[in-house]
Structure 1
Amino acid sequence: MAKSSADDEELRRACEAAIEGTKQKIVMSIRVAKSRGIWGKSGKLGRHMAKPRVLALSMKSKGQRTKAFLRVMKYSTGGVLEPAKLYKLKHLSKVEVITNDPSGCTFTLGFDNLRSQSVAPPQWTMRNIDDRNRLLLCILNICKDVLGRLPKVVGIDVVEMALWAKENTSSVTTQSNQQDGPVATTVTESDLKVTVEKELVSQAEEEDMEALLGTYVMGIGEAEAFSERLKRELLALEAANVHAILESEPLVEEVLQGLEAASNCVDDMDEWLGIFNVKLRHMREDIESIETRNNKLEMQSVNNKALIEELDKLLERLRVPSEYAACLTGGPFDEARMLQNVEACEWLTGALRGLEVPNLDSTYANMRAVKEKRAELEKLKATFVRRASEFLRNYFASLVDFMISDKSYFSQRGQLKRPDHADLRYKCRTYARLLQHLKSLDKSCLGPLRKAYCSSLNLLLRREAREFANELRASTKASRNPTVWLEASTGGSQSGNSADTSAVSDAYAKMLTIFIPLLVDESSFFAHFMCFEVPALVPPGGVANGNKSGSYDDTNDDDLGIMDIDDNDSKAGKTSADLQSLNESLQDLLDGIQEDFYAVVDWAYKIDPLRCISMHGITERYLSGQKADAAGFVRLLLGDLESRISMQFSRFVDEACHQIERNERNVRQMGVLSYIPRFATLATRMEQYIQGQSRDLVDQAYTKFVSIMFVTLEKIAQTDPKYADIFLLENYAAFQNSLYDLANVVPTLAKFYHQASESYEQACTRHISMIIYYQFERLFQFARKIEDLMFTISPEEIPFQLGLSKMDLRKMLKSSLSGVDKSIAAMSKKLQKNLTSEELLPSLWDKCKKEFLDKYDSFAQLVAKIYPNETIPSVAEMRDLLASM
């Protein structure tokens, strides 16, 4: 038999190295194959291939307790064992051998603490039945010895396991000869032996049962004789009992005499006991009176002692330490004294709570001393809150005034300065715990403090934004593009439209990159610092979305570390009233800063209106990044910016539409209108500016532009109906040619491309039909008369109608088809006469020839049907003639 991997010392040492430092001892390690339900599912073997694993049983002793674990080890890329899973054997509820595996070597271990019971547990496959039994026996022994219980065993006969253990126990304790000599394995016989016999029938019980069964064997087959024998033995026993009773009569007499003498003694004893009982009753009454007096004295003594202790506790509660009183009424608020101030606040808060009814017995609440002390503490509280509030209001103002007075703090000419509030926040954090205690002492004092902070910091933020926006615009170099994009009078100035104005949208993006995270951070800091009971605006350590390159390094510093002072502040589900109050305060904190953002948007619009597209995409990206924040003002600001950019872009679109409509007022329009190629240039550039989700903005502009263009085109065409179709087909063809590439990638333009294509085909059909009828009017009028009459009379009667006789047919053919080549040439010249776009002529001429052939074909069929004996030029002759033209 091959050597089991459980005896592999190298494997055991590798497992011990993998769990080094856990203070656990490896009991057994064995190689297995891990799979997930591959038996009976051969179609899915690719996804459930078996993986090599090592199962190790380990134990850890902690005092009197021993813990057992099942560890799953996997091989790393370097072939080194490393821990993959850890199961506690105390949670092992089920050991099941998989019946689908015919070898019986596959089993699963079920644990009752796994999170998802819906996922099939892994299946472990051993090399042979001996390895399986050896591992399962070791697990069951550990469960019984260490945990005192056995898991449910499914698919294995326990008795069969015990027999296997008895047969294989002697061969388990082996020695492996290695270089260092024989080394005994640590798996002993006791580790592998499950005492199944102990749980069924003990040896002594088995012997008793054999003896009992042996006594019954003698009666098998001779029940009548056995019954007679028992009866005889019973009669003999009864006779012996009667004889014994008769022989013992003298003894009975002696016993009766003894009982009579004892009865006399008992009567004497009863009389003496009655006398003693009376004496004892009198003594008991005397003792009870003494105990009653003694108990009253003891109770009085205990009550007096308890009263003194209670009064001492009450006096200790009512005492105001002098150092705290001095600190609360007149101590300074500088940074060095803040620890003493916070300690005094904590004492005052605790003292006030201690005098409240839940914490103080209601009997004491109405005592005069308690009422006086409560009034004294309230006075201390009011004094301290007033002093602290006045100090903080002045402190906030002085901090901001100091920063505003330093011009180097802001952006200057030639130098953009990123706002840095790290020092400001550091100084404010000194008083964060003080604010928490002020809130617990008097919540109403926070309103004025919040207003003071907001008004002071609002000045700083607006100054920073104004200076930054001014310098941003001054330092951005971009040539101005004309807003007259689609006007015909601009002539050849389109070269100016290709100027690169990306610096404009980059400047706007930089403004958002710098200030949006700053405003979110300020909102978050304000909410924490001013003790609002709302969730964090930015997760600790997180960075506001959109802040890619210009994020602050001190984002983690916004965690004030003060959320654990008041237990009420850490509760989830904050009140909406506090959130509304926070948003109102944020309005005061940040109001007015939007004007500088508006100024950048307006400046960018004046330089290049199309940059509104880029700015719209940038704004939407930031707006989508702020959805999880409670910083209401920042979302409102971004929403207002988006609306303003959309409004400015709509203004540009309206102006361009007015420029298109002005073309309608010109008296005579010929050829391709100027705004069609200009629109293609405009659309190409608009596509270059699209960022983020601003696709809708551009598609709406396309819809408005093209709708106005087509309406204006139709209106201009109606001013001269004679040339309307030529004018329409040239312009619709120019629209398709100029937008062919864009229509392949932009669905909205593709829709208008197809619309222009349909209009082009309709204009071509009308124009070609007009030219054909102009040259061959008599021919096709003759055919139309025949077609009209065919609805009312039979074909044989038509040659006898007025004007449709065979003679009339010959006259008409002579006038229409004599010199037909000249007529066709005239048709070609007329088609070419008023066409300004010569590149359209070949396709139009092909359409014209095809249309003429179709009409002539239908005419030839009519003649063959009505005038069968008349000959006219065949359709093939006419086709050859047209091909030669």
Structure 2
Amino acid sequence: MAKSSADDAELRRACAAAVAASGARGEDVAFSIRVAKGRGIFEKLGRLAKPRVLALTVKQSSRGEANKAFLRVLKYSSGAVLEPAKLYKLKHLTKVEVISNDPSGCTFVLGFDNLRSQSVAPPQWTMRNIDDRNRLLFCILNMCKEILSYLPKVVGIDIVELALWAKENTLTIDNQVSTQDGHETSVATQTERKVTVTVENDLVSQAKEEEEDMEALLDTYVMGIGEADAFSERLKQELVALEAANVYQLLESEPLIEEVLQGLDAASATVDDMDEWLRIFNLKLRHMREDIASIESRNNGLEMQSVNNKSLMEELDKLLERLRIPQEFAASLTGGSFEESRMLKNVEACEWLTGAIRSLEVPNLDPCYVNMRAVREKKAELEKLKTTFVRRASEFLRNYFSSLVDFMISDKSYFSQRGQLKRPDHADLRYKCRTYARLLQHLKSLDKSCLGPLRKAYCHSLNLLLRREAREFANELRASTKAPKNPAVWLEGSNGSGHNGSSADTSTVSDAYSKMLTIFIPLLVDESSFFAHFMCFEVPALVPAGSPNVNKSKSGGNDADDDLGLMDPDGNDLKPDSTSAELGTLNEALQELLDGIQEDFYAVVDWAYKIDPLRCISMHGITERYLSGQKADAAGFVRKLLDDLESRISVQFSRFIDEACHQIERNERNVRQTGILAYIPRFAVLASRMEQYIQGQSRDLIDKAYTKLVSTMFATLEKIAQSDPKTADIVLIENYAAFQNSLYDLANVVPTLAKFYHQASESYELACTRHISSLIYLQFERLFQFNRKVEELTYTIAAEEIPFQLGLSKTDLRRVLKSSLSGIDRSIGAMYRRLQKTLTSDELFPSLWDKCKKEFLDKYESFVQMVTRIYVNEPIMSVAEMKEVLASF
């Protein structure tokens, strides 16, 4: 069986604490148990049940009066702490009724006769089990019997069963005592056991008396069965006897009655006298109670006034403490120095001023104090202190930034000099600025509008330094770079080797550009990051920790030095918001900070382009890699600079491609171009050089250049070929073949060139087909013209009717065969010599002659098949014989 909550010592102590907290004195908790206030059995209460604790308490009387018993209802507060809910006096308990609707028998109602509203049903209490119910009811009956000397009416429960249960489960109210070893034991007093036995006896005696009366009545009834008349007569006799006995009894007791009546009269007179005295005492007591109430009321008012005065004094002391301005802070804010040794004092003064201003604002200050004259005057004084300090600090910082930069600019050792490249080093500058980082943070907290002029002053001063460093570095970088004096020229029509720039090594040019980016891009990113943190922009970090894409300065010292470690006035680390609205303002400030430095980068790009335009490819790849490393949105100017450099390099390279296309198009104006055009092999050299410079970067720039150059080359070739129709196919054949031969290796690895390689191959095949067909028809025109006429007629008339057509008879066939095939060796020899004579490249002749023989043999085989089909049994040279003739050439 689960342990009952009535045995829970912790629950009893919690109830005792709650009763004591309610102000009840001398009241002991005799019994406590958990119940549920609701309707239904305990296991199915659900949300209708409200957990409560019923506690039986006894208040010991100190004046010899009877003890008082109470029934207290306690509930759980939001913190799971017991607190009093209701109080019932046990002397008003008239009825204990077990609800019949609850089949478990665990729900009961306690009826009190002093309830204010009898129309409202008393609350129902539900126990966990029958044992808990019996323990509570039995304890209530015990107290009623012991303290009040009466038992309430019990309804809905069998009294005999309750008495039997009480015998089996002797109910005791445990008193917890502590032994020497600290353990608690339960002790039942002898008085409690006697009370228990008395209640049991009362309950059992009531039941026994009822049983005995019933048995006597039944015995009497049994005696009269079957003898109704005798029984009636007997009853009448007994009634007469009893009446006679009563009359006799009354006569005998008359003196006693007289004595009793006299005593009653004396008692009545005494009671009247006592009633008069009680009325007098009652009147005096009522006047005394009124006097006491008046005195207590005055005492309560005085006590309340005293408490209020004490609280008011404490609040005024706190308010005066807030309004007091420490002398040392006032001196620092109004006239203190901003030297480095005094910065700690200034920061402390700023922190105090910020806290003081906040403490005089709602909700830090009670709204009832806001409109007080002293508070308003103190707020005005603090505002004046704030304005004075912000003005002094802003003026100092503007002058400080300007003096720092002027000192560095005046010292030439900070910049690159002739014969010596100087890497910019701003470690000392940042260290000196970092001294005032906390001051700027507090200035932002005090007056955010003062940061605008300070940011402009810092940007203006540092912009002069950065532009001077970039200009001196770029000038010395170009002066110290060894590069060819004559610029490289590509795709010109002249065959002079001196104009071909492919032999000159211009790698130093792109190395110089890479060095420029390596030195200044990390510097600009670091300056942007330092500026954003130093000037209190709430934006994300510009350079993520451990980023592999940004090259660090070798002489810039430890990277951790750039971490300002800024904190807010409360000493907490600042956590920037990635969606801050200040991002746009920061990028505008960075534009002002770094504007103008791009001109030195442009100068290096233009200088490299003049030396070797193809170096634009390498510079484009270098810029692309740096651009991919700039991921932070706040480094907007650096990304814009790299985008502009990439665009400028692309424009310069596009200009070079346009000039190369212009050089190609000039070949069109030259008259009677024969052989391989000069720009065909030069393009192969140019493409090889371009592929060397690409170095793994994206191919968009070079693929666009290939497309434009090759399209211009093919278009110009077609125009040159069309200028002389007689040699058009020869020009196309030789140049397309040269294009394929020169780009064979590159086409295998470059998809764009492979596309143009296949295009040149198709154009070459078409030109070969046209040229060979013209040679064959020139030598055997009658033979294949006759074949074409016959083939055309086969679509309109029957094959057997063709020999009877005009000009297509067998006689005409014999004439054509005789004129075309009689000297076949000489005719093929003439075709061989004519093909050899038209070509300027001996390398192409064997393949073209093979194509010519194959084409001629295919046409002749078609002619033989036509003759065999149309002109049956007509003699003609076989295809095998023609192969033998062709094989001899």
Cα distance change on mapping 1:739 and 1:504 into 2, 3 Å? same
1:819, 1:265 → 2: CA distance? 184
For the structure 1 residues 662 and 304, does the alpha-carbon distance in structure 2 shift closer, same or farther, using more than 3 Å as the test? Answer: same
Counterpart of 2:859? 855
Q: Deviations over 1:753-775 (max 9, x none)?
A: 00000000000000000000111
Check conservation: 1:422, 1:554, Cα contact below 8 A: no
Contact 2:721 2:732 (8 Å CA) reproduced: yes
CA drift at 1:301: 2.2
Q: Distance in 2 between matches of 1:460 and 1:286?
A: 93
SS where residue 721 of structure 1 aligns? coil
Rounded Cα–Cα distance in structure 2 between residues aligned with 1:339 and 1:309: 33
Q: Does 1:592 align with 2:596?
A: yes
Amino acid across the alignment from 1:635: R
Verify: 1:312 aligned to 2:317, yes or no: yes
Q: 1:644 aligns with which of 641, 648, 651?
A: 648
| Range with bigger deviation, 368-377 or 266-275 | 266-275
How much does 1:667 deviate?
0.6
**What is the DSSP-based 3-state SS (H/G/I as helix, E as strand, rest coil) of the residue aligned with 1:420?**
coil
Residue 480 of structure 2 corresponds to residue 486 of structure 1: no
Cα 1:362–1:420 shift into 2, 3 Å = same
Give identity over the alignment, percent: 79
* Structure 1 residues 245 and 511: CA distance shift in structure 2, 3 A: farther
Alpha-carbon offset, residue 565 of structure 1: 3.4
Superposition pairs of residues 708-719 of structure 1, within 5 angstroms? 708-719=712-723
Give the alignment of 1:196-235 within 5 angstroms: none
The answer on whether the counterparts of 2:620 and 2:650 sit within 8 Å (CA) in structure 1 is yes
**1:302-360: per-residue Cα shift (whole Å, max 9, x none)?**
22222322222222222221111111111111000001111111111112222223322
What is the CA-CA distance between 1:822 and the residue it aligns to? 1.1
Q: Which residue of 696, 703, 725 corresponds with 1:699? A: 703
Question: Aligned partners of 2:746 and 2:499: how far apart in 1?
Answer: 19
| Counterpart amino acid of residue 299 in structure 2 | N
Structure 1 match to 2:769 = 765
**Higher CA-based Rg:** 2
Q: In angstroms, what is the RMSD of aligned CA positions?
A: 2.8
Deviations along 1:808-846, one digit per CA (max 9) or x if unpaired, are 211211111112011111111111112011111111011
- Equivalent position SS for 1:357: coil
Query: Which sections of structure 2, spanning at least 5 residues, go unmatched?
Result: 1-206, 220-256
Q: Pick which of 647-656 and 345-354 moved more.
A: 345-354
1:621 alignment counterpart: 625
* Residue 449 of structure 1 pairs with residue 442 of structure 2: no
Please list the CA deviations of residues 524-580 of structure 1 after superposition, one character each: whole Å capped at 9, or x if unmatched. Answer: 1101100112111122x4447241785844322222111343689845546654111
Alignment counterpart, residue 523 of structure 2, candidates 518, 525, 546: 518
C-alpha spacing 1:845/1:389, structure 2 compared with 1 (3 Å): same
Q: CA–CA distance in 2 between the matches of 1:542 and 1:424?
A: 24
Contact kept in structure 1, 2:566 and 2:574, CA below 8 Å: no
* Equivalent pair of 1:621/1:692 in contact (CA under 8 Å): no
Tell whether 2:847 aligns with 1:843.
yes
What does residue 778 of structure 1 align with? 782
- Given the alignment of the two structures, is residue 830 of structure 1 paired with residue 824 of structure 2, yes or no? no
SS of 2:422's partner is: coil
What is the rounded CA distance, in whole Å, between the counterparts of 2:398 and 2:568 in structure 1?
25
Aligned to 2:796: 792
Contact 1:355 1:365 in 2 (8 A): yes
CA distance in 2: counterparts of 1:301 and 1:616, whole angstroms? 86
Q: For residues 345-387 of structure 1, what are the alpha-carbon distances to aligned partners after superposition, in whole Å with 9 as ceiling and x for unaligned?
A: 1111112222223322333322222222222222211111111
Q: Check the 8 A contact 1:542/1:555 in 2, yes or no.
A: no
Opposite residue 351 of structure 1, the aligned amino acid is: A
Structure 1 residue aligned with 2:806, among 802, 811, 821? 802
Tell me how far apart the structure 2 counterparts of residues 569 and 654 of structure 1 sit (CA, whole Å). Answer: 57
- CA change 1:653–1:786 in 2 (3 A) is same
Q: Residue 292 of structure 2 aligns with which residue?
A: 287
* Cα distance in 2, alignment partners of residues 399 and 490 from structure 1: 60
The counterpart of 1:346, out of the listed 351, 354, 375, is 351
Aligned-partner Cα distance in 2 for 1:560–1:549: 18
Q: Residues 215-614 of structure 1 correspond to what in structure 2 (within 5 A)?
A: 242=215, 277-480=282-485, 482-493=487-498, 496-539=501-544, 541-543=545-547, 545-547=549-551, 552-565=556-569, 570=574, 573=577, 576-614=580-618
Give distance in 1, aligned partners of 2:495 and 2:772: 35
In 2, distance between residues paired with 1:795 and 1:750?
A: 49
Does residue 736 (structure 1) correspond to residue 740 (structure 2)? The answer is yes
Instruction: Classify 1:745/1:821 alpha carbon distance in 2 versus 1 (closer, same or farther; 3 Å).
Output: same
- Alignment deviations for residues 173-208 of structure 1 (CA, whole Å, 9 cap, x no partner): xxxxxxxxxxxxxxxxxxxxxxxxxxxxxxxxxxxx
Alpha-carbon separation, structure 2, partners of 1:377 and 1:239: 98
Residue 792 of structure 1 and its aligned partner are, at CA, apart by 2.0
Which residue identity lines up with residue 670 of structure 1 in the other structure? Answer: T
SS at match of 1:489: coil
Q: Which amino acid aligns with 1:561?
A: G
Structure 2 CA distance for partners of 1:879 and 1:867, relative to 1, 3 Å: same
Q: Give the secondary structure class of the aligned counterpart of 1:537.
A: coil
Take 1:319 and 1:589, find their aligned partners in 2: how far apart are those partners?
43
Contact kept? 1:484, 1:490, Cα under 8 Å: no
Tell me if structure 1 keeps the 8 A contact 2:415–2:424: yes
Q: Residues of 2 paired with 1:794 and 1:510: CA distance?
A: 85
Please give the alpha-carbon distance, in whole angstroms, between the structure 2 residues aligned to 1:265 and 1:560.
Answer: 104
Q: Is contact 2:440–2:535 with CA below 8 Å preserved after alignment?
A: yes
> For residues 274 and 570 of structure 1, what CA distance do their matches in structure 2 show?
82
Residue type of the alignment partner of 1:877: E
Q: Structure 1 803/550 Cα, relative in aligned 2: closer, same or farther at 3 Å?
A: farther
Scaled by the length of structure 2, what TM-score is found?
Answer: 0.68
- Could you say if the C-alpha distance between residues 277 and 724 of structure 1 is closer, same or farther in structure 2, counting changes exceeding 3 Å? same
Q: Secondary structure at 2:494's aligned position in 1?
A: helix
* Shift in Å, 1:685: 0.6
Q: Secondary structure at the match of 2:844?
A: helix
Q: Measure the CA separation in 2 of the matches of 1:491 and 1:621.
A: 38
Conserved 8 A contact 2:566-2:573: no
The amino acid that maps onto 2:760 is A
Deviation at 1:241, TM superposition (A): 8.4
CA contact (8 A) 1:396 1:452 kept: yes
Alignment of 1:666-677 (within 5 A): 666-677=670-681
Answer whether contact 1:618 1:691 (CA < 8 A) is retained.
Answer: no
| Cα 1:274/1:510, change in 2 over 3 Å | farther
Query: Between Structure 1 and Structure 2, how many residues are aligned?
Result: 638
Q: Which residue of structure 1 lines up, in the alignment, with residue 815 of structure 2?
A: 811
Aligned equivalents of 1:383, 1:723: Cα separation in 2: 93
CA shift at 1:692, angstroms? 4.5
Gaps of 5+ in 1: 1-233, 247-256
Alpha-carbon distance, 1:691 to partner: 3.4
Quick check: 1:317–1:354 contact (8 Å CA) kept in 2? yes
Q: 1:683 aligns with which of 671, 684, 687?
A: 687
Counterparts of 1:718-733 in structure 2, within 5 Å, are: 718-733=722-737
Q: Residues 589-621 of structure 1: CA distance to partner in whole angstroms, max 9, x if unpaired?
A: 000000011011111111110111111111111
The residue aligned with 1:36 is: none
> Contact conserved, 2:523 with 2:553, CA < 8 A, in 1?
no
TM-score, structure 1 normalization: 0.69
Q: Which residue of structure 1 aligns with residue 759 of structure 2?
A: 755
Q: Are the counterparts in 2 of residues 725 and 763 from structure 1 also a CA contact under 8 Å?
A: yes
**Following TM superposition, by how much is the alpha carbon of 1:238 offset from its aligned partner in structure 2, in angstroms?**
5.5
**Matched ranges for 1:16-165 at <5 A:** none
| Matched residue type, 1:857 | E
